Amino acid sequence: MALPTGEQWSFRAPCLTTWEAENLGAWLGAAASATSTDLPAQDFTEPELWLDLVAVAGDLLTIAVRLAHGAAVPLQRERASSAGVTVSLAIHRNELRAAASAWAVEVRRFPVR
């Protein structure tokens, strides 16, 4: 990931169960087809990641993504409260559909258990 300042970071952590990973793909697909923000937020057992569809304007969707603990921006990890840091992502629904499809392909490598 990259910030507008150019700072880049990544994280790798086993913060999703296999069934949560599968559910995330379904949530992304549902968000891509949404016509309102009535879709429930997607949260997980581990608190590193949380997503919420916060705006639908035609084909442009805005998703709030909370990154907490080890997933937070490195410079903000010390400053971030337990609620983490939330960023807004604007994405075209076709791009989100493509991401959901790609996610589904990747998740197949990990059987639900």
Q: What is the DSSP letter of 48?
A: T
Confidence of residue 1 (pLDDT cuts 50, 70, 90): low
**CB-based burial, 66-100: b 16+ in 10 Å, e otherwise:** bbbbebbbeeebeebeeebbeeeeebebeebbebb
d(CA 33, CA 78): 37
CA distances to 17, 48, 69 from 76, rounded to whole Å, are 26, 14, 10
What was the pLDDT predicted at 69? 79
pLDDT tens, position by position, 18-28:
999 999 999 99
pLDDT tens, position by position, 7-61:
777 778 788 999 999 999 999 999 999 999 999 999 999 888 999 999 999 999 9
pTM of the model: 0.84
**Domain extents in the chain:** 18-107
